Chains A and B, each alone.
Chain A
Amino acid sequence: MMAEPLIELRDVSKRFVKTLDLAEKIVNFAGGNLREEVVHAVDKVNLHVDEGEVVGLVGESGCGKSTLGRVIAGIHAVSGGAVYYRGKDVTGLSPEKAKEWGLDVQMIFQDPMSSLNPRMRVRDIIGEAPVVHGIVDAGEMDNYVDDMLLRVGLDPLFKRRYPHQFSGGQRQRIGIARALAVRPGFLVCDEAIAALDVSIQAQVINLFSDLRQDLNLTYLFISHDLGVVEHLSDRVVIMYLGRVVESAPTEALFDEPNHPYTIALLAEVPRIENRGRKFMPIKGEIPSPIDPPSGCHFHPRCPHATERCALEQPILREVAPARYSACHLNDEA
C-alpha cells in the first residue's frame, strides 16, 4: 500500500433537484404529470489526490468539474458516497470538526471580482480569516498581511486599497493570498486563470508553480484549457457529463490518450505550432445532464460507438499501470 492519499472520493455523487413550485403542485393535483427535474452533476466519481501532487481536472462546460471541486472544498454537501481527507471520512462531520478540514482546503475562484467583497479593504480581505481562526493575533495582522502580499507578488503598500482599484491579474493574486492566509495544504483552483490575459496568465501560472515548491501545496486544478493543465499538472482527470472518463499521468495522457473523448478533445486544442490546419471537429454537443444518454454518455458523439455502448455503462478501470479509462473498446483489444 502506498502512502495515504491526501483526499479521496469514493463513489461521490451530487444531484441537484428542482422541486415543484406551488403552481406545478396544483397542476399535479388536478391530474397533471409534472415531475421533479434531477440533474446528476456528479455521478459516482472516484478520485484521489496524493500529498504534493497537482491534479488537473478537465472537461467542457456542464461536465460537473466545478461542482466536483466545490464538493471537495466542502462548499457543496455530497448526495451520495464519501469524501476522505487524510484518511478520515469528512462527509458527515459536525460543524466544529469540519472547520479544521475547511481551513486546510481552500478554493480559488475564476472571477476574483465576484469572490472578493468590494467593500472591504485588501488588508481585511486577507487578514480577517487568520485572526478569526486564531492563526495570528490581531496585533500581528498587519505584518502577516504584508507577508502574504509579498508572497503573491504584490506591494504591501496596496493593502489599504479596495478590490476595484486593482487589475484582473492583481485581483486574482489577492484571491490567492486570501486562500493562503489560513495556511491550507490543499488548494482547489476553479478556472483560476481563465479570465486573465495571456501575458498575465503566464505570470499567475508561474506564481502557482513557485508557491507549490515553497509551501509544499497540493492542487486540484480545474480548467477547460488543456494547454494550461498540461503545463501544470502531474496527473490529468478528464470528465464528461458527470463522470470521469479517463485519468492518467500527464505525459502519458497527452502522448497516448485512450478514451475517444480525450482523443477528440486533444485534437481540438488549437496549438500555436499548427499552421493553416484543417479543423476536423467531433460532431454534436454535450447532451443535457437532465436527460443524459443511456450507457456510455459519450456514445452519441463517439466515432467508434457500438450497440453495447448505448446499453451498458463502461466502468473506469485500469488499462495500463496508473492509467484508468472508462471505455468498452478496451475490452476488445
Chain B
Amino acid sequence: MEGEIPTLAVEGLKTFFFTKLGVAQAVNGVSFTVRKGEVVGLVGESGSGKSVTGFSLIGLVDPPGRVVEGKILFRGEDLAQADEDRMRSLRGRRIAMIFQDPMMTLNPVLRIDTQMIEAVRAHEKISEGDARIRARDALVQVGIPSPDERLKAYPHQFSGGMRQRVAIATALLHKPDLIIADEPTTALDVTIQGQILHEVQKLCRETGMSLIWITHDLSVVAGLADRICVMYAGKIVEKGKISDVLDSPLHPYTNGLIGSVPSHNRRGQPLAQIPGMTPSLLNLPQGCAFHPRCPRAGASCLVEPDITEPAKSDHQVRCVNPHLETS
C-alpha cells in the first residue's frame, strides 16, 4: 500500500569487521524493506553476510564488527542511531530473533518457565501468574503438546525440534512486529522442519507479524516467503517478488544457485554448477565480486555495478549484463 510506513526499511547498511588482517566488509551497502505481515527471504551462501545483516538489524554485532554506515528504519525510527537503552527496550519486545541453534537462546540450567516468565517481565510489569499464562499460551501457539508440564522441563529434556519451538514461542511472547529468523530449521529433520514452517506461516498470516527468514536453502524460501533478497559477498545482488526472482532470475549468481538445486535438475544429468568458490571478504575481486565465477563476465564487470530494474518494477538486480532473454 502506498504511503504506509514499512515495518523495516534498511538503507545502505554497512557492517565491517576490523580485524588484524584487514577490514572485512561483511555487509556492504544493503538496502531492503519489509512490509507489515510480509515474509522476506534473505538467501546466500556462507560468508555472504546474510547472518551479519540479521545481527546488525537487532544491534548484536560484536567487536571487532561495527555498523559503520546506513539507516535501519524500524517503523520510521533509525535503529543505527539508537542508544543501547533504546535497543534493549526494543529487542525481544518489538523485534525478536530466532537462532539456528536453539541452545543459543535457551539457558541450559534454567527451567523453561523461569526463562519465559523472565522474558515477559523484563519488558512488562505484570504478575508472575499472568506471565506464566502468557508463556503457556505462547507454547500452545507453536503447537507444543501439554504445555503446563513442558513449562516445568529443562531445555535438555526437549528434542531439537521442540527446543526450536520453545525458542520461537519465547520470541512471540510480546507479539513483536518483526522476527528475524537465522537459519532456524537448518539443523532439523525434514518432517520437523515442515512442522515449524507450518506454524510460522500460520502465525504470520494470523498476527500480521513481519518475518525475515535468513537461509541458504532456496527451496525453503520458495514455499514460505513473499519476497526474496539474494546476497553475495556482502551485497544484495538481486531482490524482488519470489516468483519473479525464481522463475526469471536476472543475476547470473541467482541463476547458478537455482541450477545447483538437485531437485530442479533432470536425474542423471550433471548439475549446472557455479565454478570456483566464494571469495574471501578480506580480498574481494575488483568491481562485481561475482565476476571471476560468472559465465557472462566481461570487461565492464570490473566496475562496481549499480542496482537497476531492467525487466520489471520491484525486481532489482546488481549486474551490468543480466539474464534478460529468459524473462
Contacts and interface: CB of A to CB of B under 8 A. Distances in A.
B198 interface: yes
Contacts of B262: 201-202, 205, 225, 227-228, 230-232
A294 interface: no
A209 B270 contact: yes
Nearest to A227: B263
A209 B217 CA distance: 23
A169 interface: yes
B189 interface: yes
A321 interface: no
Interface in B193-238: 193-195, 197-198, 201, 216-220, 222-223, 226
Given A198-B45, A202-B274, A251-B267, A274 B192 contact: no
A203 B193 CA distance: 26
B272 A202 contact: yes
Contact of B263 (A169, A272, A276, A278): A272
Contacts of A283: 195
Nearest to B217: A270
Given A209-B270, A272-B258, A279-B223, A285 B159 contact: yes
B277 A169 contact: yes
A28 interface: no
Nearest to B258: A272
Q: Is the interface of B mostly helix, strand, loop or mixed?
A: helix
Contacts of A279: 194-195, 197-198, 201, 223
B59 interface: no
Interface in B19-68: 45-46
A273 B218 CA distance: 10
Contact of B46 (A61, A197, A276, A277): A197
Interface in B161-191: 161-162, 189-191
A131 interface: no
A19 interface: no
A271 interface: yes
B283 interface: no
A265 B273 CA distance: 27
B195 A281 contact: yes
B82 to A, nearest CB: 34
B286 interface: no
B282 to A, nearest CB: 14
A17 interface: no
Contact of B223 (A60, A197, A265, A276): A276
Contacts of B191: 60, 264-265, 268, 281-282, 285
Interface string B264-293: 110110111111011000000000000000
10 contacts: A169-B277, A198-B218, A199-B278, A203-B275, A231-B263, A265-B190, A267-B194, A271-B263, A273-B222, A281-B197
Interface of A: 60-61, 167, 169-170, 197-203, 205-206, 209, 224-228, 230-232, 250-251, 264-265, 267-283, 285-286
Interface of B: 45-46, 159-162, 189-195, 197-198, 201, 216-220, 222-223, 226, 242-243, 246, 256-265, 267-268, 270-275, 277-278
Q: Which 8 A-B pairs have the closest CB atoms?
A: A202-B260, A227-B263, A279-B198, A281-B194, A231-B262, A268-B194, A270-B219, A60-B189
Given A199-B257, A199-B278, A270-B193, 14 more contacts: A60-B189, A198-B218, A199-B273, A202-B259, A206-B273, A209-B270, A224-B190, A265-B190, A268-B193, A274-B222, A275-B243, A276-B226, A281-B197, A286-B189
